[in-house]
Structure 1
Amino acid sequence: MTGWRSAGRALLRLLAVWAVGTLTMAVLALALPDFRIQAPGGESLTRSALTAALGAGAFGLLSALVWPWLVRALLLVPAFALGSLVFLLNGSLLWIALSAVPEVNSEVGPVTAVVVASVMSVTASAASTFLAVRDPGAQARRLRRMAGWRATRRAPAPPAHTPGIVFLQLDGIGHDVLCAAIEGDDPAMPTVAAMCAATHRLTPWRTDWSSQTGAAQLALLHGSNEDVPAFRWYEKETGEVIVSNRPSGAAELQRRAVARAGDPGLLAEDGASRGNLFTGGAEQVALVLSIAARRGRGRHSRAGYFAYFSDPARAARTAASFTAELFREIGQSTRARLRGDRPRVARGGLYPFIRAFATVVQRDVVTAVVVGDILTGRTHVFADLVAYDEVAHHSGPHGPDTRQVLARLDRCVELITQATAYAPRPYHLVLLSDHGQSQGETFESAFGHSLEEVVRAGAGRPVRRTRRRRESGAEAREVARAALHRPEVPREPPSRPPGEPGRRTAPIVLASGNLGLISFPDLPGRAGRGDIERRYPDLLPALADHPGIGFVLVRDERHGPVVLGADGAEHRLATGEIRGRDPLAPFGPGAADAVRRVAAYPHVADLMVNSSVDPGTGAVHAFEDQIGCHGGLGGPQSLAFLLSPRTLSAPPFEPVGAEAVHRILRRWQREAAAQPARPADAPARTGA
């Protein structure tokens, strides 16, 4: 009887969706001048309705039968191009469907066919979703379709009674932002708030000095971020700049971390890496930058896009949301400019498209792929959602812009939690972040010159007043390039700038949020304080005494690593001796240990410059064009969060460093594997 009732409900849903499609086609035929369906014998209401029903049925049947094979045939097409082709092919299917209905005279233009097909796909999908809410079986099928079930090419695993773990990284959301988002009568993240109240515990953790995704996620997934001093840095032995969010840079960092740790990573055992910079040792990867240029079975970094865009309804919804996000960003930036908001950075150029990609496409695709992993019973999944981080860089960590992003991320968490109810095994859901964000006016806006101009003036070089484009430290730009199948910008040695042939090589100045790196290519090895003072006697005082600079790290030939501050202040890290006012005091009690660790890296820059911080507000000055930044010390950027199930052991309060968090994640994996098996007929725990 249960089987007959399920079949009856499925038939009723099919008929209801068919009716919605019929009604949509009929309404569009009346509303659009370029779309007409006419039955033989005239335009009677009955015959027109029958014609619309036949057309809608033929279109739905073709979509169900043709799409899986069509998408497989287009696997070599760049992901965004596939998203565009979906609309054209969907319109072609509508034209074929109308042509296949016997004795029907139809007229539809190419553009109108695309519009009609997209609207019909969306309305049919919405009707199916609405009808599936009260039917667990239909809801499970809806989640499978959302995850691109056929494109996963993996059948559900046999039921596993020990829990799997989903690690969901909410990029850039600091502990302070999350606390604000789950508090009050109208929290921005109600699902996460409910988790905190019932099943999970919230723990802050303190980041490394290099508080950015490249260093944090490398340690979270591979157990080591040794010798990663910043988001980008110059290596003298090769004359190249390593950039964490470029495929070649991410691949090199991963190779070094695996060799150093002697372990493939957190996800080596039946794991999946989704939307990350690194694989974590997973065989199943999608949207992972470190393998973006590779080919081979199971190693398609863009596979998640194909699974997602294989559904015309999803493609249409995403396209509409993408367009809406473009206009939302333009409207928000215009209002901020008219209000005279400070601090503020330019938000034109490609940024609206990068924001729409991060907050719509990457978010939705990664969520869908994670749902697919859960429904196939994958043991460990680690996924990164970059939406908040991208918007906070340009709009600031707080305010209505980022609150909207937090609300949408909360819906992703809700959807992933729902998927665990239909998984072949129970799951633990762990939410975490890699760093926070500190707000403040940019260094250049606050003081009228860039860090590079301060360095050139202190080094006796002519100061260039031409405005140069600065590359953002956000991850979304390179993720979008990988999705578009664009080649990586070739790395070039930044030596001997144009216009200075035969002269001493100028210092190289790089930025990572409010952390600056200065290297001297013509000084071999790690330049010492004495070498720098002899070569550029005015440089160190110009930096240390600047009101926008909190401290400068340099190697002293006698005392080892020394932190310099204003008015001749020094903190000698090897002995702890302090002369004058401690330059590290405003940055908290853990600052000395964090700086001391980086000072021992082989590829630390000759000079490491951290901006000043306002102890009262936590405001810093980014050396990039960002009003919400991270990468150095100072303010909320250094405090990330862990939101873990209470069924797992409690982490120590405020762990220090991403490597310590990796050890906690490893411990939770062992605990989950050792948990008692639940009875085969017991329900799976959802989000425990």
Structure 2
Amino acid sequence: MSTPLVRAGDLGRVVATYVSSVLALALAGAVLPGLRFSSFPQLLASAAATFLVGALVRPLLVAASAAIGWLAVLLVAVLGQAVILAGALTLIPGVEADSFWVVLAAAWIAAAVATIVAWLCTSGTSEAFTAALVRRTRRRQKPVEDPEAPGVIFVQLDGVPFPVLRWKLLAASLPTMGRWIRDGGYRLVEWTPVLPPTTPASQLGILHGRIDGVPAFRWYDRALGRVLVANRTADAAEIERRASDGRGLLADGGVSISNLFSGDAERSVLTMSKIELARGSADTRRRAAWYLARPDGFAGSLSGAVAEIARERFESRRQRRLDVRPRGERGWLFAGMRAVTNVVLRDLNTALVAEEMMHGTRVVYVDYVDYDEVAHHAGALRPESLGTLDRLDRVLACLEAVAAAAPRPYRLVILSDHGQSQGTIFADRHGIDLAAVCSQLTAARVETVEQSVEGWGRLNGLLADLSGGGSGTGRVAHHAALRVQHRAAPPAVTTSSELVVLGSGNLGLVYAAEERRLTMEEITGRWPALIPGLVDHDGIGFIAVLSTEHGPLALGPSGVHRLSDAKVTGVDPLEPFGPHASADLLRAVSMPEAPDLYVNSSVDQDTGEVSAFEGLVGSHGGLGGWQGRALLLAPPDLVIPDRPIRGADELHRVLVGYLEQLGQRSGLSRDTADV
């Protein structure tokens, strides 16, 4: 049976749009003294002209925005509706507007009314957004050569611990994933990221099958003589260059969206390792401009962002009013960053994935950072952190609906890259940060990086990928992205620096600012009080160091654990950290990139709380708590191995097996090389 050219639902949406335009213009005429309609038929004609002109002009504005740059995208959002309205009103004789600013105000009133009408029609749910994505992508749908071959959408729920998701499912507050498990046979299992449980290490393993070479979220690179930060574009590119063999998870026709690394994808969008600040992505700008150019799109994003900021300010004040502890500083800056990641970036990611699905892309990997961003500042089990999972569950419902209209069947695979642990910030608990402790013990000149920069990296990625070439607006975007990158950049390690101290969750890294790694004996000879002082500190669970005589060691206040053969003298400092701590630490300490000293905070045996060396209440990067408990949720026809999955490289092999099981990776030769 042929598909009708015009559907009843389409006619209903046209009528609803037209009626809302009439109401909006009537309201604008009533509240704006500079806008006048002489009769009701004139008002009806103006609304019809606005609808028709918008249909003709909006694609041109979108194309121009994509070609020029991200500033043009913002201008489309702010001024585009006014341009459309002004053009429409010139077609209707007798309509008067005193100035362009009156028209601009009328356009924003129209956008606000459209948003309110859409909200009322959908009871405040995400169905309207889903329907818009399906309509948009259906019009751009392309035939695929193998429509029967299933595709895979890998959805990373950044930082969500396995126990948290399981509890949310038991509470029946995640209806989409709950239905998949209850009625669809999906299987939820736990997998274990090895040390360090942080996004760059885990995502490099998941996407490229390599977990070596990344000792933390950021580290001092002895060869380069500077600090590498995984969510800076140049550093992410360097990390991927070292790890890639050309056969990553996305190498055979895949697309990477909003990740640190590309997985050797043919195309990457908002992916840090592939962003070039000198040239942004016209495709990203086109898709962003489409959403912002819609009357309900930008107004919806703006209202959602404002609501997110208001929600964050209310929740942070509630924590202080109730004296919730532990808690950290949650200012206006974080509120703005939360609005970007949990509204703008989430909606844009969903639109990007939906379009890839409607094009029949074989495999997509996308990272949603909503939970991770909030849990860092609010805590892993706080209501505001758990609330992000409710909204992400609705995103999965949206992708499920898009999949039903796509040109090929899709499997949705959900996973997290690590978990989260909670606890009082180290500096708050002890009145001194790790860098100051090292400085006091050595009297050395210390360079330190302990502030959180994850959110800044995501904002930088968005700005950089929306920047445009050598145009004027592109240069503005380029400079804006550079300023954001500078905000996230670590301080330079100068020739006068003796020690570099870095915080990565509750894992501290201490380097001598030299080209080679120092052994325990050399450190003791140079700074005799450093190792004993760190070991005896109440907030430190253990330190790990490489000994000339004994090899890799874990040192605690009352004992030593020799990692090469697990021989313990005295009280085992690793006993509170689980049965796999020794093997994980041995691998980490043995890496050439490892610091001279790994410093892990203590863990509370009753609560599992740790103390981050950054200013974060929720953290990950070391040992202790739930940061090493990640999740995998897969449909029933994709086999999850019976053995435990330990390490992101092992999870990579499982996910590659899914693609091979579904007939993918046929275009990937065994001798594919990194290019």
On the 8 A contact 1:291/1:301 being kept in 2, the answer is no
Match of 1:96 among 83, 87, 94: 87
SS at the partner of 2:212?
coil
On the 8 A contact 2:561/2:572 being kept in 1, the answer is yes
**Aligned pair in 2 of structure 1 residues 2, 428: CA closer, same or farther (>3 Å)?**
closer
Give 1:366's aligned amino acid.
N
| Residue matched to 2:25 | 25
Give 1:116's aligned amino acid.
I
Give, in whole Å, the separation in 1 of the partners of 2:331 and 2:648.
Answer: 34
- Deviation digits for residues 321-354 of structure 1 (CA, Å, limit 9, x no counterpart): 1111112111211221222221111111521111
**Aligned pair in 2 of structure 1 residues 6, 84: CA closer, same or farther (>3 Å)?**
closer
How far residue 625 of structure 1 moved from its aligned partner, in angstroms, is 0.3
SS at the partner of 1:561?
strand
On the 8 A contact 1:273/1:288 being kept in 2, the answer is yes
Give, in whole Å, the separation in 2 of the partners of 1:586 and 1:55.
Answer: 72
Match of 2:161 among 160, 174, 188: 174
| Residue matched to 1:519 | 511
Give, in whole Å, the separation in 1 of the partners of 2:440 and 2:178.
Answer: 51
SS at the partner of 1:660?
helix
Match of 2:577 among 577, 587, 595: 587
Match of 2:458 among 479, 487, 511: 479
Match of 1:638 among 600, 618, 628: 628
On the 8 A contact 1:140/1:422 being kept in 2, the answer is no
How far residue 672 of structure 1 moved from its aligned partner, in angstroms, is 1.2
On the 8 A contact 2:346/2:368 being kept in 1, the answer is yes
Give, in whole Å, the separation in 2 of the partners of 1:13 and 1:111.
Answer: 25
Give, in whole Å, the separation in 1 of the partners of 2:126 and 2:616.
Answer: 42
Query: Does 2:497 align with 1:510?
Result: no
Query: Structure 2 matches for 1:396-435, cutoff 5 A?
Result: 396-435=379-418
| Residue matched to 1:604 | 594
On the 8 A contact 2:81/2:293 being kept in 1, the answer is no
- Deviation digits for residues 341-387 of structure 1 (CA, Å, limit 9, x no counterpart): 21111111521111111110111110111111111111101000001
How far residue 52 of structure 1 moved from its aligned partner, in angstroms, is 2.0
Query: Does 2:99 align with 1:112?
Result: no
| Residue matched to 1:210 | 196
| Residue matched to 1:573 | 563
Number of residue equivalences: 641
Give 1:643's aligned amino acid.
L
| Residue matched to 2:475 | none
**Aligned pair in 2 of structure 1 residues 674, 79: CA closer, same or farther (>3 Å)?**
closer
On the 8 A contact 1:232/1:512 being kept in 2, the answer is yes
On the 8 A contact 1:169/1:382 being kept in 2, the answer is yes
Give 1:424's aligned amino acid.
P
**Aligned pair in 2 of structure 1 residues 13, 232: CA closer, same or farther (>3 Å)?**
closer
On the 8 A contact 1:35/1:112 being kept in 2, the answer is no
Give, in whole Å, the separation in 1 of the partners of 2:297 and 2:168.
Answer: 28
Moved more, 505-514 or 8-17: 8-17
| Residue matched to 2:478 | none
**Aligned pair in 2 of structure 1 residues 589, 84: CA closer, same or farther (>3 Å)?**
farther
How far residue 282 of structure 1 moved from its aligned partner, in angstroms, is 1.4
Match of 1:386 among 369, 385, 406: 369
SS at the partner of 2:327?
coil
- Deviation digits for residues 447-497 of structure 1 (CA, Å, limit 9, x no counterpart): 111111111111134899xxx9943142x3212123234113266641345
SS at the partner of 2:405?
coil
Match of 2:150 among 157, 163, 185: 163
Match of 1:613 among 603, 614, 619: 603
Give, in whole Å, the separation in 1 of the partners of 2:642 and 2:278.
Answer: 41
Give 1:633's aligned amino acid.
L
Give 1:512's aligned amino acid.
S
Query: Structure 2 matches for 1:511-550, cutoff 5 A?
Result: 511-522=503-514, 524-550=515-541
Match of 1:249 among 216, 232, 235: 235
Query: Does 2:221 align with 1:235?
Result: yes
SS at the partner of 1:75?
helix
**Aligned pair in 2 of structure 1 residues 564, 139: CA closer, same or farther (>3 Å)?**
closer
Give, in whole Å, the separation in 2 of the partners of 1:253 and 1:280.
Answer: 12
**Aligned pair in 2 of structure 1 residues 59, 400: CA closer, same or farther (>3 Å)?**
same
On the 8 A contact 1:286/1:303 being kept in 2, the answer is no
| Residue matched to 2:432 | 449
Give, in whole Å, the separation in 2 of the partners of 1:311 and 1:272.
Answer: 26
Moved more, 613-622 or 110-119: 110-119
Give, in whole Å, the separation in 2 of the partners of 1:162 and 1:3.
Answer: 23
Give 1:510's aligned amino acid.
L
On the 8 A contact 1:214/1:244 being kept in 2, the answer is yes
Query: Does 2:180 align with 1:195?
Result: yes
On the 8 A contact 2:126/2:394 being kept in 1, the answer is no
**Aligned pair in 2 of structure 1 residues 588, 170: CA closer, same or farther (>3 Å)?**
same
Give 2:65's aligned amino acid.
L
**Aligned pair in 2 of structure 1 residues 80, 594: CA closer, same or farther (>3 Å)?**
farther
Give 2:353's aligned amino acid.
V
How far residue 620 of structure 1 moved from its aligned partner, in angstroms, is 0.3
| Residue matched to 1:367 | 350
| Residue matched to 1:334 | 317
Structure 2 gaps, min length 5: 465-480, 666-675
Query: Does 2:300 align with 1:317?
Result: yes
SS at the partner of 1:254?
helix
Give 1:18's aligned amino acid.
Y
- Deviation digits for residues 571-596 of structure 1 (CA, Å, limit 9, x no counterpart): 11112211111111111111111111
SS at the partner of 2:42?
helix
On the 8 A contact 1:146/1:368 being kept in 2, the answer is no
**Aligned pair in 2 of structure 1 residues 284, 237: CA closer, same or farther (>3 Å)?**
closer
On the 8 A contact 2:191/2:644 being kept in 1, the answer is yes
- Deviation digits for residues 121-147 of structure 1 (CA, Å, limit 9, x no counterpart): 4357668979x999xxx9997324566
Moved more, 607-616 or 509-518: 607-616
Moved more, 420-429 or 80-89: 80-89
Moved more, 215-224 or 121-130: 121-130
On the 8 A contact 2:640/2:654 being kept in 1, the answer is no
- Deviation digits for residues 614-637 of structure 1 (CA, Å, limit 9, x no counterpart): 122110000000000001111001
| Residue matched to 1:42 | none
On the 8 A contact 1:268/1:280 being kept in 2, the answer is yes
Give 2:588's aligned amino acid.
V
| Residue matched to 1:560 | 551
Structure 1 gaps, min length 5: 40-46, 498-504, 676-688
Give, in whole Å, the separation in 2 of the partners of 1:307 and 1:565.
Answer: 57
SS at the partner of 2:170?
coil
Give, in whole Å, the separation in 1 of the partners of 2:46 and 2:581.
Answer: 68
**Aligned pair in 2 of structure 1 residues 656, 299: CA closer, same or farther (>3 Å)?**
farther
On the 8 A contact 1:156/1:375 being kept in 2, the answer is no
| Residue matched to 1:67 | 58
Give, in whole Å, the separation in 2 of the partners of 1:575 and 1:621.
Answer: 29
| Residue matched to 1:686 | none
How far residue 79 of structure 1 moved from its aligned partner, in angstroms, is 3.6
**Aligned pair in 2 of structure 1 residues 516, 299: CA closer, same or farther (>3 Å)?**
farther
**Aligned pair in 2 of structure 1 residues 385, 84: CA closer, same or farther (>3 Å)?**
farther
Moved more, 107-116 or 229-238: 107-116
Give 2:536's aligned amino acid.
D
**Aligned pair in 2 of structure 1 residues 79, 167: CA closer, same or farther (>3 Å)?**
same
